[in-house]
């Protein structure tokens, strides 16, 4: 899992792509994004999901943190991949407008959701997708546990927010890359002489 080699972005992208593929944007004519790493300062982006990673902790999971290695013969590049097992809390905040009104069809019946009920509706879509497609999500993450879903609360005079708190485990990967004669120099610099 190294899309950006910046773990926050990688986890954010995995969850954002997962939500985009399993939950349709409830604003059918929206052309922009609706999943963000930060809260919006305008109501024009609502409803939205804000994904935030909180304080990962790390532990060794393998000897020397080694994961794998590969060699690119065409470019003479040798790579060693290392990792630590990371565990973090993810908050997925579902943000909806207080004055928004959206019409949806449920079981063949048209319904209009607004106010807190709109937030409940979108939160439920997300929650159900995580339960229904959990196996697919675990192809990208080591583990994913939905810990709780907080009822919508008044964020400000314009929005309702609910918090889906999850715990994720993933491999925090880094790579050492050696070109041409770098590998030999790297090992020769760390040689200790014992007498």
- The pLDDT of 105-125, averaged and rounded, is 93
Q: What is residue 182's predicted lDDT score, i.e. its pLDDT?
A: 65
Percent of the chain with pLDDT over 70: 88
- The pLDDT of 23-38, averaged and rounded, is 85
Query: With 80 as the cut, is the pLDDT of residue 186 above it?
Result: no
Q: What is residue 27's predicted lDDT score, i.e. its pLDDT?
A: 86
Rounded to whole angstroms, the Cα distance separating 175 from 157 reads: 47
- The pLDDT of 139-164, averaged and rounded, is 93
User: How much is the mean pLDDT over the chain?
Assistant: 85
Domain ranges of the chain: 7-66+84-168
Residues contacting 32, CB < 8 A, separation 6+: 45
Q: What is residue 59's predicted lDDT score, i.e. its pLDDT?
A: 92
**Greater confidence, 110 or 63?**
110
**What is the tens place of the pLDDT at every residue in 37-72?**
888 777 777 899 999 998 899 999 877 888 889 998
Instruction: Answer positive or negative: Cα dihedral of 155, 159, 160, 165.
Output: negative
Q: What is residue 91's predicted lDDT score, i.e. its pLDDT?
A: 96
Rounded to whole angstroms, the Cα distance separating 103 from 53 reads: 32
The helix/strand/coil state of 27 is: coil
Indicate the CATH number for domain 7-66+84-168: 3.30.2000.30
Q: What is residue 193's predicted lDDT score, i.e. its pLDDT?
A: 43
Q: What is residue 32's predicted lDDT score, i.e. its pLDDT?
A: 79
What would the two tokens of residue 48 be? 């939205």
């Amino acid at each position: 899992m190294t899309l950006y080699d910046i773990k926050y972005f990688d986890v954010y992208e995995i969850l954002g792509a997962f939500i985009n593929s399993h939950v349709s944007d409830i604003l059918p004519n929206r052309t922009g994004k609706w999943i963000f790493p930060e809260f919006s300062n305008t109501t024009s982006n609502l409803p939205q999901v804000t994904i935030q990673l909180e304080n990962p902790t790390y532990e060794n999971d393998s000897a020397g943190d080694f994961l794998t290695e590969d060699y690119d013969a065409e470019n003479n590049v040798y790579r060693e991949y290392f990792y630590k097992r990371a565990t973090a809390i993810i908050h997925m905040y579902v943000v909806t407008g207080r004055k928004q009104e959206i019409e949806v069809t449920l079981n063949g019946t048209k319904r209009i959701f607004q106010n807190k009920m709109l937030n409940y509706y979108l939160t439920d879509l997300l929650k159900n997708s995580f339960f229904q497609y959990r196996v697919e999500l675990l192809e990208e993450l080591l583990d994913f546990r939905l810990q709780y879903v907080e009822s919508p609360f008044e964020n400000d005079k314009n929005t309702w927010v609910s918090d889906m708190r999850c715990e994720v485990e993933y491999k925090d990967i880094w790579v050492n890359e050696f070109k041409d004669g770098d590998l030999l120099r790297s090992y020769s610099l760390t040689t200790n002489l014992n007498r």
